[in-house]
């Protein structure tokens, strides 16, 4: 039996057991995971910091806020006792709403083009540019804000358009770098950056507004923009679009990744099967789950502080710890759940399909259950809603190894494109959620009206859990498979027990392979 495996028609690479170059330090797929994590940290920092800086930018006047009489107003409201500092811009509430929403109007436009571009030209540069452009625009924000509010709205739209490519581009990268049995782990590390970016952005932005240079709030945009530019430089040198183009990857790691994915190096990227993709039940199952999860996530994060203030008379946004606590818990859950998610698949405890369904059902079903309890809560202790909110977002984090990673199961080569479809449609749900809350509570922010909000959100979580449970798949779909006959030569038949279900052992976990 030959001891070589033909990866390309003109190249022979030693099979496991031969003496080849060892990998230096951390595996390159985990370098990608860490850099992707930091990329999402900077991206979400750029997204969230504007919400905090806006408070310092606006010259607030006394406004008669409508509140509920369901709960008595506490005698000592230390959290709301401090008067708001006068900013330099006289922007109305309507203008502020346009500024906050304009990001999403840009964001929804570029998900699908971003997925296509990442498939054609590689996810590295599309993702990198998706962080760099908002960073540069962020540093221009203070100057443009003093010229015209219309320029800031335009900047926010452009930042949204740039960040709209991030998830499709990252999933296109993961489709080429993630061994199937490590997909939950690597994708979980990457997506945890979203929560962590929100965690650090809020308190750091607040400190910069109070004590920063250049008059306070401008330093928010300068600091986060500069940090993102530094990340981009590191990204350019450390990350590559696929294992075959990486100059520092070891032969073993490259062979391990390519063999486990069953891929070969193509001269041209395969055309995206849009029709087959858009008529695929497993793809639409992921889309429905994404819409439902994002509806719950964005509705809770944007509207619960309003509930706390209107009904319970507690200003959650002025309590830094409580504001960051839901994000903090979600971040740790994301990191902790990825290990059992891969373990039960790697050790044959559950098949991929069943594992995805298990975590998605626990995550979305659990989040919905916490919201049902919150809907029935009639008390006036603000700690109870905070605990229930934290529980809902903690359970929501469990669903990441479910629907979100499922892109890499059913269509690894086109995961960027399937993610772009899901992310585009889920952005609509992120817009509809806050609008629905405003419609239900406008002029009557009572506990009864907010109960409707929580029940609707719980119903969306339940819909996502049930749809995924019934229709999700765990195997690569026919339309997504590599039809190239050359792909069949990626693995040679071997009598050794080094191949199991067409997955090579990870050489970084078995020194005997390197030293054989």
Does residue 512 lie within any of the structural domains? no
**239 and 289 share a domain?**
no
d(CA 516, CA 507): 11
- Contact (CB, 8 A) for 26 and 268: no
**337 and 409 share a domain?**
yes
- Contact (CB, 8 A) for 243 and 8: no
- Number of domains within the chain: 2
Sequence-separated (6 or more) residues with CB below 8 Å from residue 268? none
**54 and 195 share a domain?**
yes
Does residue 306 lie within any of the structural domains? yes
Whole-angstrom distance between the N-terminal and C-terminal Cα of the chain?
18
pLDDT at position 484: 55
Does residue 369 lie within any of the structural domains? yes
List the helix and strand counts (H, then E) for the chain.
18, 4
Helix ranges restricted to H, 63-182: 93-107, 111-121, 123-145, 149-163, 166-177
- Compute the C-alpha angle 438/41/135, nearest 5°: 85
Does residue 70 lie within any of the structural domains? no
Q: What is the CA radius of gyration of the chain?
A: 24
**202 and 294 share a domain?**
no
**241 and 342 share a domain?**
no
**375 and 276 share a domain?**
yes
Question: Is residue 366 classed exposed, middle or buried when 0-12, 13-18 and 19+ CB atoms within 10 A define those classes?
Answer: buried
Does residue 85 lie within any of the structural domains? no
Q: Strand pairing of 11-14 and 499-500?
A: unpaired
H/E stretch holding 284 reads: helix 281-310
**229 and 303 share a domain?**
no
CA distance readout (Å), 72 to 75, 377, 471: 9, 16, 47
d(CA 364, CA 398): 8
**380 and 463 share a domain?**
yes
**240 and 274 share a domain?**
no
- Contact (CB, 8 A) for 408 and 356: no
SS3 of the chain: helix, strand, coil, percent, to 5: 70, 5, 25
d(CA 353, CA 336): 20
**199 and 293 share a domain?**
no
**237 and 354 share a domain?**
no
Does residue 460 lie within any of the structural domains? yes
CA distance readout (Å), 109 to 24, 112, 277, 331, 430: 41, 8, 19, 28, 14
pLDDT single digits (tens) 299-345 = 877 677 677 777 777 765 566 566 677 778 888 888 888 888 888 88
- Contact (CB, 8 A) for 190 and 174: yes
> Does the predicted TM-score (pTM) go above 0.85?
no
174: domain CATH number? 1.20.1250.20
d(CA 377, CA 384): 8
Tell me which residue range forms the domain holding 189: 29-59+90-245
Does residue 65 lie within any of the structural domains? no
Tally of residues, the chain: 516
Residue numbers in the chain where pLDDT is lower than 50: 1-24, 62-64, 77-82, 84, 267, 485-505, 507-508, 510-516
Does residue 195 lie within any of the structural domains? yes
CA distance readout (Å), 440 to 117, 246, 443, 460: 40, 53, 9, 16
CA distance readout (Å), 499 to 29, 436, 506: 20, 53, 11
- Contact (CB, 8 A) for 398 and 366: yes
Residue where a domain stops, chosen among 194, 212, 245: 245
**189 and 41 share a domain?**
yes
For the four alpha carbons of 158, 160, 166 and 168, in that order, the dihedral sign comes to negative
- Compute the C-alpha angle 333/199/227, nearest 5°: 120
């Amino acid at each position: 039996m030959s001891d070589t495996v033909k990866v390309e028609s003109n190249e022979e690479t030693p099979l496991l057991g031969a003496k080849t170059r060892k990998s230096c330090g951390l595996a390159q797929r985990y370098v990608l995971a860490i850099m992707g994590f930091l990329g999402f940290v900077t991206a979400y920092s750029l997204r969230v910091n504007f919400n905090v800086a806006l408070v310092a930018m606006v010259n607030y006047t006394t406004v008669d806020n409508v509140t509920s009489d369901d709960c008595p107003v506490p005698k000592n409201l230390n959290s709301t006792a401090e008067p708001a500092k006068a900013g330099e811009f006289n922007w109305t509430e309507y203008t502020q709403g346009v500024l906050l929403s304009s990001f999403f109007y840009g964001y929804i436009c570029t998900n699908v083009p971003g997925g296509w571009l990442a498939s054609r030209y590689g996810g590295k540069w599309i993702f990198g540019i998706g962080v760099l452009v908002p960073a540069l625009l962020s540093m221009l924000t203070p100057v443009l804000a003093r010229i015209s509010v219309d320029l800031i709205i335009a900047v926010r739209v452009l930042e949204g358009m740039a960040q709209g490519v991030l998830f499709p581009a990252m999933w296109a990268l993961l489709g080429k770098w993630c061994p199937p049995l490590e997909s939950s782990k690597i994708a979980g590390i990457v997506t945890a950056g979203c929560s962590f970016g929100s965690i650090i952005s809020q308190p750091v932005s607040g400190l910069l507004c109070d004590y920063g240079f250049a008059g306070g709030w401008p330093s928010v945009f300068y600091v986060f923009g500069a940090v993102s530019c530094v990340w981009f430089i590191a990204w350019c040198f450390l990350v590559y679009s696929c294992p075959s183009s990486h100059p520092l990857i070891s032969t073993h790691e490259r062979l391990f990744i390519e063999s486990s994915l069953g891929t070969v190096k193509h001269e041209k990227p395969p055309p995206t099967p849009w029709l087959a993709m858009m008529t695929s039940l497993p793809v639409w199952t992921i889309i429905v789950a994404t819409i439902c999860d994002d509806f719950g996530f964005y509705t809770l994060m944007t509207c619960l502080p309003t509930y706390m203030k209107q009904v319970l008379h507690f200003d959650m946004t002025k309590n830094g710890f409580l504001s960051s606590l839901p994000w903090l818990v979600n971040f740790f859950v994301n990191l902790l759940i990825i290990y059992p998610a891969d373990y039960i698949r790697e050790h044959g405890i559950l098949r991929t399909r069943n594992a995805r369904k298990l975590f998605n059902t626990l995550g979305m079903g659990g989040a919905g259950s916490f919201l049902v309890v919150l809907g029935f809560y009639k008390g006036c202790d603000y700690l109870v809603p905070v605990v229930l909110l934290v529980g809902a977002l903690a359970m929501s984090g469990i669903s990441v190894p479910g629907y979100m990673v499922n892109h890499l199961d059913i269509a690894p080569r086109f995961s960027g494109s399937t993610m772009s479809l899901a992310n585009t449609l889920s952005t609509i749900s992120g817009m509809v959620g806050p609008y629905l809350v405003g419609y239900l509570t406008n002029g009557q922010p009572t506990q009864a009206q907010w109960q409707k909000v929580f029940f609707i959100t719980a119903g969306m979580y339940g819909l996502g859990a049930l749809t995924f449970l019934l229709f999700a798949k765990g195997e690569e779909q026919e339309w997504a498979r590599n039809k190239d006959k050359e792909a069949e030569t990626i693995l040679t038949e071997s009598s050794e027990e080094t191949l199991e279900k067409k997955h090579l052992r990870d050489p970084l976990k078995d020194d005997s392979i390197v030293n054989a």
